[in-house]
């Protein structure tokens, strides 16, 4: 783990040194968990967006895109459940004065137990080689079985406590597991309490006439409230999808790990509208399709894995994450959710407007079910940067750092480097640059060529 943390620090330093990411408002000592993308970072980020958009919209005849506003009517967030349920359980350490998400502390503890299991499996594989039966080993090895039972028991109790909003039991679980503060090392904890993650502001010229509105915490609701507009004007037939790339905002109290968890971030989402009863087959389809997309970036398949949710969000009947092996461990990159008709039915109820779809094949009207794919653009950026970062040892023993970026995502596609400033070479190089720059991001360099 220490090696991974050291590598991660090098990646962060490299990202700043080469114009990928800067701390926002750095000359004013920065703004916590807010970052700016530099000249190379913004180009790489745009290339990721273009690649996703082509894969999701351009290559699918039944998926279209929209660009919804960040500000929405406040009742949207009441209907979606965000006003009442978009909370994180937080706990403070009295000695370090540091604040943590209680669920992350418990998940990190379970991850340590899982790491012990993986080490046992690795040792056994080295010992037995190709004859090693991992499934049988996991089911019969006493240490592996004991740790897995601990993980299962912790997860069951934790999920139950959150479902019942039993914050006292969440704290009791942290104490029983003897989870210590990573900073102070003490177990002197406050009570657990819920904290709403939405940013709010006022809309109106006069304070007494102003109304409370929110910065959107997700882009999905902008799709849901527009679904019927898109369906009718685009003459879309179920199944069809609506995609969107846009900013979202969450007042993360425990923002950490560079751009992995930020207060202002960007999402690439697609909501796929299907007949009720067909959602699970489409859920499985999009799980497989999205995993293929990630692997198409040239990152080895073993760096990704699925994580099926034990605790489902209030809107879902099935959910899975695609996790990536970051230098700090496996973490969520994309979520695939079967959202049922929760969102559309809720907006139909709160708005008083019918959001039903008339199906010409079945000759009936119904509220569609939805399968969602939601990927964090910034997290994808970090995953690509983490995998691309390579330390090479040259023949003379010296080391250099290179970024092995996928060609279709690289910020600069071609470098024009005339070797001499004579014999008409600079003019020819300039001509080549002028021919290429309309189709590719290019860089021209004479001095350091």
pLDDT score of 424 = 78
Last residue of a domain, one of 174, 195, 216: 195
Domain co-membership, 190 together with 216: no
395 in a structural domain: no
Domain co-membership, 171 together with 206: no
Domain co-membership, 160 together with 249: no
Locus of tokens 């300039």? 430
Last residue of a domain, one of 142, 167, 195: 195
> Which helix (H) or strand (E) covers residue 242, if one does?
strand 240-249
In the structure encoding, which two tokens stand for residue 186, read together?
A: 């003490």
Q: Considering the chain, what is the average pLDDT of its residues?
A: 90
Provide the domain limits for residue 60. 39-86+199-389
In the structure encoding, which two tokens stand for residue 9, read together?
A: 């620090």
7 in a structural domain: no
401 in a structural domain: no
The pLDDT tens digits for 121-163 are 888 888 888 888 888 899 999 999 999 999 999 989 988 888 7
Which ranges of 54-192 does DSSP label H, i.e. alpha helix?
A: 74-80, 82-85, 102-128, 134-140, 142-163, 167-176
Domain co-membership, 218 together with 290: yes
Domain co-membership, 69 together with 98: no
5 in a structural domain: no
Domain co-membership, 124 together with 265: no
Domain co-membership, 257 together with 330: yes
We report the CATH number of the domain holding residue 314 as 3.30.930.10
Contact 193, 246 (CB under 8 A): no
59 in a structural domain: yes
Rounded (10°) CA dihedral 339, 343, 345, 351: 180
Q: How many angstroms separate the Cα of 24 from the Cα of each of 31, 167, 279, 429?
A: 6, 35, 41, 37
Nearest to 220 by CA among 271, 283, 295, 148: 271
Domain co-membership, 81 together with 179: no
Domain co-membership, 162 together with 206: no
What φ, ψ does residue 90 adopt, rounded to 5°? -115, 150
123 in a structural domain: yes
pTM (predicted TM-score): 0.80
Q: How many angstroms separate the Cα of 150 from the Cα of each of 54, 172, 198, 428, 438?
A: 44, 16, 34, 69, 59
Domain co-membership, 125 together with 188: yes
397 in a structural domain: no
Domain co-membership, 62 together with 104: no
Neighbours of 246 (CB within 10 A): 19
Contact 304, 291 (CB under 8 A): yes
Report, as ranges of residue numbers, the positions in the chain whose pLDDT lies below 50.
Answer: 1
According to DSSP, the residues that pair with 403 across neighbouring strands are: 389
Question: Between β-strands 21-23 and 200-203, what pairing exists: parallel, antiparallel or unpaired?
Answer: unpaired
The pLDDT tens digits for 312-364 are 776 778 999 999 999 988 899 999 999 999 999 999 999 999 999 999 999 99
Domain co-membership, 224 together with 325: yes
Q: How many angstroms separate the Cα of 43 from the Cα of each of 37, 46, 65, 72, 320?
A: 9, 5, 21, 29, 30
Rounded CA separation 195/52 (Å): 33
Helix (H, G, I), strand (E, B) or coil at 216: coil
Buried b (16+ CB within 10 A) or exposed e, 26-38: eeeeeeebebebb
Rounded CA separation 21/36 (Å): 6
Rounded CA separation 242/71 (Å): 19
pLDDT score of 445 = 85
Does the CA dihedral 322-138-313-91 come out positive or negative? negative
Locus of tokens 């010992």? 127
405 in a structural domain: no
Rounded (10°) CA dihedral 229, 347, 276, 377: 70
Last residue of a domain, one of 195, 217, 235: 195
Domain count, the chain: 3
């Amino acid at each position: 783990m220490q090696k991974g943390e050291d590598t991660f620090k090098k990646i962060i330093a490299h990202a700043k040194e080469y114009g990928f990411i800067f701390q926002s408002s750095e000359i004013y000592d920065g703004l916590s968990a807010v970052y700016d993308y530099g000249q190379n970072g913004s180009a790489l980020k745009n290339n990721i967006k273009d690649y996703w958009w082509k894969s999701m919209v351009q290559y699918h005849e039944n998926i279209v895109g929209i660009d919804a506003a960040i500000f929405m009517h406040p009742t949207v967030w009441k209907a979606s459940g965000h006003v009442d349920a978009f909370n994180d359980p937080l706990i403070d350490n009295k000695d370090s004065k540091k604040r943590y998400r209680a669920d992350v502390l418990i998940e990190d503890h379970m991850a340590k137990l899982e790491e012990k299991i993986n080490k046992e499996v690795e040792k056994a594989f080295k010992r037995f080689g190709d004859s090693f039966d991992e499934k049988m080993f996991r089911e019969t090895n006493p240490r592996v079985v004991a740790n897995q039972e601990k993980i299962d028991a912790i997860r069951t109790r934790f999920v139950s406590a959150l479902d019942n909003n039993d914050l006292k039991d969440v704290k009791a679980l942290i104490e029983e597991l003897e989870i210590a503060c990573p900073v102070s090392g003490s177990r002197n904890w406050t009570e657990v309490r819920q904290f709403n993650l939405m940013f709010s502001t006022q809309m109106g010229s006069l304070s007494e006439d102003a109304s409370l509105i929110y910065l959107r915490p997700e882009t999905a609701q902008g799709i849901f409230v527009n679904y019927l507009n898109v369906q009718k004007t685009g003459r879309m037939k179920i199944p069809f999808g609506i995609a969107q790339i846009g900013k979202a905002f969450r007042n993360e109290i425990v923002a950490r790990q560079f751009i992995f968890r930020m207060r202002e971030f960007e999402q690439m989402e697609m909501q796929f509208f299907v007949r009720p009863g067909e959602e699970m087959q489409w859920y499985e389809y999009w799980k497989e399709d999205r995993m293929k997309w990630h692997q198409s970036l040239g990152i080895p398949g073993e760096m990704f894995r699925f994580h099926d949710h034990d605790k489902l969000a209030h809107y879902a009947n099935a959910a899975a994450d695609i996790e990536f092996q970051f230098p700090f461990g496996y973490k969520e990159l994309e979520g695939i959710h079967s959202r049922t008709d929760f969102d559309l039915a809720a907006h139909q109820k709160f708005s008083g407007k019918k959001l039903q779809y008339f199906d010409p094949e079945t000759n009936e009207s119904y509220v569609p079910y939805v399968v969602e794919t939601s990927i964090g653009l910034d997290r994808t950026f970090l995953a690509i940067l983490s995998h691309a970062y390579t330390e090479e040892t040259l023949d003379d023993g010296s080391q250099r750092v290179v970024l092995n970026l996928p060609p279709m995502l690289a910020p600069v596609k071609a470098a024009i480097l005339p070797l001499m400033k004579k014999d008409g070479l600079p003019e020819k190089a300039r001509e080549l640059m002028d021919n290429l720059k309309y189709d590719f991001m290019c860089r021209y360099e004479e001095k350091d060529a």
